[in-house]
């Protein structure tokens, strides 16, 4: 959709009418008057979730009490929901489990990967990651490196292939990347990058926080080694929803994961003093499953799986690309000369399900205040501070969740952003924000 004559609201509404995925929006409880483009931070509430959580609390817990571990299937939640997520990310049944947070799961799988790499070759003592990776991933990697006598090296994403090539990667144990960068929305080619890591003799660990449920993922097809992911973004599991972890079957039983809790025991109800790891991914569980949170997450995942008869992740990806292409075209049409720049790859194959706009480095626009002014208008995206340079600008982020985002939502968001800038509404928002702090 590049013809300026076709970029009006009526044309966008017509695309929504023709959209075969449009009925999926009815699965969600979207607040009136809100244009929500922040599903890459927190997904919206599925309509089924409130009733499901109420049933878990009042019936399964309230009436079933401890019997519900068996009668209601609580004990199977990590595997049952994990198998459903596996359908979205190319994991076979039994290979993926739901547990803990993304950070805790990353600690588990990265620790296992470090032990495997060093067992195979003690000279491999380097964990490599992207400099602009999500900070918690780098903090966890720093901790794991210290515990295993390793070092963490950070590189610009474009410099990583050279770090691995031509024997330069002979000391690399693990390459740890987030498939879709949380700031820029840049998406890595999972299969190609995994092959580069393996060619260097390194293991490949992927963080799917911004890709699971947003773009097609095929962990087994890419021959990845380990992966973790988030339950509360595109999977719509609710704030603080449990996360998930995956290990390729060739690795799953090589080592204990470091948090060897009772749910990862081969016979958790035997209550013996010594630890025996469960087979496969069951050993990556730790403590008691979060029943209420996992039940809410299952509703979000079921909403994703409702797209399967309509083409599944491939159809969702097609719509996601169309939404982001429309957003980019409208930015060029309505925000030319505004000072905002597109900080997300223009090539859809290198872009996740978001577009980030860079704020001028000269401070002529306060990005945080712009986003606050947009939110006051009912358009919710988010703001991510950078160092203000061209390489790491302050960003306005807009996420597109094809399950519920419409083409008119994209049009209305750009119109609102253009008006916020043209009328200087962000200056008042900046004043109000400062007044609230003083």
User: Rounded to an integer, what distance in angstroms lies between the CA atom of residue 144 and that of residue 152?
Assistant: 9
Contact 335, 414 (CB under 8 A): yes
User: Rounded to an integer, what distance in angstroms lies between the CA atom of residue 157 and that of residue 253?
Assistant: 31
Give the annotated binding-site residues for pyridoxal 5'-phosphate: 102-103, 134-137, 178, 207, 210, 232, 262, 288
Please provide the size of the chain in residues: 438
The residues near 431 (Cβ < 8 Å, ≥ 6 apart) are none
User: Rounded to an integer, what distance in angstroms lies between the CA atom of residue 83 and that of residue 348?
Assistant: 29
**CA trace torsion 410, 414, 419, 424 (10° rounding):** 120
Distances (CA, A) of 284 to 95, 245, 264, 312, 399: 10, 8, 6, 28, 31
User: Rounded to an integer, what distance in angstroms lies between the CA atom of residue 80 and that of residue 93?
Assistant: 9
Residues that are catalytic: 134, 207, 232-233, 397
Give the annotated binding-site residues: 102-103, 134-137, 178, 207, 210, 232, 262, 288
**Beta carbons within 10 angstroms of residue 118's beta carbon:** 16
Q: Which residues pair with 277 in a beta bridge?
A: 265
> What are the structure tokens assigned to 278, written together?
């469960």
């Amino acid at each position: 959709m590049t013809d300026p004559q076709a970029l009006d609201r009526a044309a966008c509404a017509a695309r929504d009418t023709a959209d075969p995925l449009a009925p999926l929006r009815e699965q969600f409880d979207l607040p009136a008057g809100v244009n929500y483009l922040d599903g890459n931070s927190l997904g919206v509430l599925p309509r089924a979730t409130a009733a499901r959580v109420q049933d878990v609390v009042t019936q399964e817990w309230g009436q079933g009490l401890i019997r519900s571990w068996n009668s209601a299937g609580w004990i199977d939640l990590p595997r049952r929901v994990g198998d459903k997520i596996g359908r979205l990310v190319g994991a076979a049944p039994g290979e993926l489990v739901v547990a803990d947070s993304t950070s805790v799961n990353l600690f588990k799988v990265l620790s296992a990967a470090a032990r495997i790499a060093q067992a195979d070759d003690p000279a491999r003592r380097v964990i490599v990651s992207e400099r602009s990776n999500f900070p918690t991933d780098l903090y966890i990697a720093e901790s794991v490196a210290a515990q295993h006598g390793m070092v963490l090296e950070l590189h610009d994403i474009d410099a990583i292939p050279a770090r691995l090539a031509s024997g330069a990667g002979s000391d690399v144990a693990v390459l740890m990347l987030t498939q879709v960068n949380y700031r820029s929305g840049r998406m890595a080619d999972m299969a190609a990058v995994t092959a580069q890591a393996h060619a260097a003799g390194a293991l490949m660990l992927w963080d799917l926080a911004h890709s699971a449920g947003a773009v097609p993922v095929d962990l087994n097809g890419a021959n990845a080694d380990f992966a973790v992911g988030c339950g509360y973004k595109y999977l719509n599991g609710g704030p603080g929803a449990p996360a998930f972890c995956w290990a390729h079957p060739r690795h799953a039983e090589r080592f204990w994961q470091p948090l060897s809790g009772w749910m990862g025991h081969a016979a958790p109800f035997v209550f013996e003093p010594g630890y025996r790891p469960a087979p496969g991914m069951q050993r990556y569980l730790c403590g008691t499953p979060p029943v209420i949170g996992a039940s809410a997450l299952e509703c979000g995942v079921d909403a994703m799986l409702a797209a399967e008869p309509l083409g599944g992740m491939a159809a969702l990806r097609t719509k996601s690309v169309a939404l982001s292409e429309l957003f980019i075209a409208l930015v060029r049409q309505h925000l030319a000369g505004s000072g905002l720049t597109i900080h997300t790859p223009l090539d859809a194959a290198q872009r996740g399900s978001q577009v980030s706009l860079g704020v001028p480095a000269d401070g002529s626009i306060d990005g945080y205040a712009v986003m606050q002014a947009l939110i006051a208008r009912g358009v919710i995206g988010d703001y991510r501070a950078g160092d203000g340079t061209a390489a790491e600008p302050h960003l306005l982020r807009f996420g597109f969740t094809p399950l519920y985002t419409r083409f008119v939502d994209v049009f209305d968001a750009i119109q609102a952003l253009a008006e916020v800038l043209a009328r200087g509404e962000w200056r008042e928002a900046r004043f109000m924000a400062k007044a609230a702090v003083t």
